[in-house]
Amino acid sequence: MEGLRRIIEQHSATELAEIIFSDLSVYHYQKLFIAMEKANSKINTHDYEDVKSSGGIVTGVTIDGGDQETLFNLQKALGIAPKTFEEELIENEIKGWNKAGHRVKFTVNEDERVVIAEIEKGGKVVGHGIAHCHPLDTFDENVGKLIAIIKADFPKRWRERLISLGYDRKL
Query: What is the percent of the chain with per-residue pLDDT over 70, rounded to a whole number?
Result: 72
Q: What is the pLDDT of residue 128?
A: 93
Report the mean per-residue pLDDT for the chain.
78
Nearest in space to 151 (alpha carbons), one of 170, 128, 171: 128
Across the range 50-62, mean pLDDT stands at 48
Every domain of the chain and the residues it spans: 2-78, 85-164
pLDDT tens-digit readout, 80-103: 667 788 888 899 899 999 999 999
Radius of gyration of the chain (CA): 21
Angle between helical axes of 65-78 and 26-45 (0-180°, round to 10): 110
* 170: three-class secondary structure by DSSP: coil
Q: Would the pLDDT of 61 be above 70?
A: no
Q: Structure pTM?
A: 0.56
Q: Sorting pLDDT into bands at 50, 70 and 90, what band is 107?
A: very high
The CATH class, in words, for 85-164 is alpha beta
Q: What angle do CA 129, 132, 133 make, to 5 degrees?
A: 140
